Amino acid sequence: QNETTVTEFILLGFSSNPALRLCLFALFSVLYSATLIGNALVFVLICLDYRLHSPMYFFLCHLSIVDICYASNNVPHMLRNLLGQGKTISFAGCGTQIHLYLIFALTECVLLAMMSYDRYVAICHPLRYALIMNRRVCLTLAAVSWAFGFIFGTLQASLALHLPFCGPCEVDHFFCEILAVLKLACTDTTVNKVLIFAVCVCFLLFPLALILISYVHILATVLRIRSAPGWHKTFSTCGSHLTVVSLFYGNAIFMYMGPGSGNSSGREKVISLFYSLVSPTLNPLIYSLRNKQVKEALLKLQRRKRVFHS
């Protein structure tokens, strides 16, 4: 009898303190701008500089696209919420947020595993690298990443949005995160939670195991390298990827598979904020600051811009 036809949700967001909300708005606006500029710059550099037309940068280009889309799905509405202008969101809008959030998150899980396989082939089989990681293989791996993200993200979102919901529909989050929305359902959500756990095993634990296996082989190969330049080049490229992997998978496993997952709204907000803003902001910085080729491409673009203006 308490079941209602839900037309909109109320996003509770962060603190109700106006001064704190204004500070958070300024901070998150800067981070969001840095996310858009940083990832767009990486994308442009890879497209314009022929030296970056390699499998590693091909996957990095897709990672930049995922980060831009991921942040743009959640952050604009969060910023409006902090200004007191976007607390409500329609049922369709909430469903869209859940759907896109899952697609981009799951795609990034698979994409990071593909990037580790690329590094494994490059370091452990350098003479066959061009043959193994040819254009067709790269396109196939990227397509598989997006396809898996879309299929399983759509499945999860469809099951969640077909549940009956009860009022008051207050989502204790800054966007429609699936665990926060499931708490408002008027029925048992055990099946949904079991499916979420199963998807986490497939998209978190299994890819992470593949990444660790790849890096065990990489480490064994690196230990046989006796030249200091070889060591430095290997760790500069692999170190960037390992940093991103540890941040991404660590937080995801803690949030969705850790003890009491889905019960602490404060923890969910902090981790979701990391995915929505911190990680997309750090990714281009991690790769560009630690990568000589990207920095050289940036300097080349700056010189080209000065010549154009002169």
| Contact yes or no for 25/79 (Cβ under 8 A) | yes
Q: Model's pTM, two decimal places? A: 0.87
Which pLDDT tens digit goes with each residue over 232-249?
666 666 776 777 788 788
Report the 3 state secondary structure along the chain.
Answer: CCEECCCEEEECCCCCCHHHHHHHHHHHHHHHHHHHHHHHHHHHHHHHCHHHCCHHHHHHHHHHHHHHHHHHHHHHHHHHHHCCCCCEEEHHHHHHHHHHHHHHHHHHHHHHHHHHHHHHHHHHCHHHHHHHCCHHHHHHHHHHHHHHHHHHHHHHHHHHHCCCEECCCEECCCCCCHHHHHCCECCCCHHHHHHHHHHHHHHHHHHHHHHHHHHHHHHHHHCCCCCHHHHHHHHHHHHHHHHHHHHHHHHHHHHHCCCCCCCCHHHHHHHHHHHHHHHHHHHHHHHHHCCHHHHHHHHHHHHHHHHHHC
Which pLDDT tens digit goes with each residue over 243-267?
778 878 888 888 888 766 655 567 7
Q: Does residue 1 surpass a pLDDT of 50? A: no
Which residues have CB under 8 Å from 190's CB, separation 6+?
Answer: none
* Domain residue ranges of the chain, discontinuous segments joined by +: 8-308
Report pLDDT for 152: 94
Model confidence band, residue 137 (pLDDT cutoffs 50, 70, 90)? very high
In the Cβ-directed half-sphere of 124, how many Cα atoms lie within 13 Å? Answer: 17
**C-alpha torsion 159→162→167→170, nearest 10:** 40
Crossing angle for the helix pair 292-309 and 279-289, to the nearest 10 degrees: 90
Q: Which fold has domain 8-308?
A: Rhopdopsin 7-helix transmembrane proteins (1.20.1070)
Return the closest-CA partner of residue 113 out of 26, 12, 242. Answer: 242
49-53, 135-139, 142-146, 178-182: the lowest-pLDDT one: 49-53
Task: Kindly calculate the radius of gyration of the chain based on its CA atoms and give it in whole angstroms.
Answer: 21
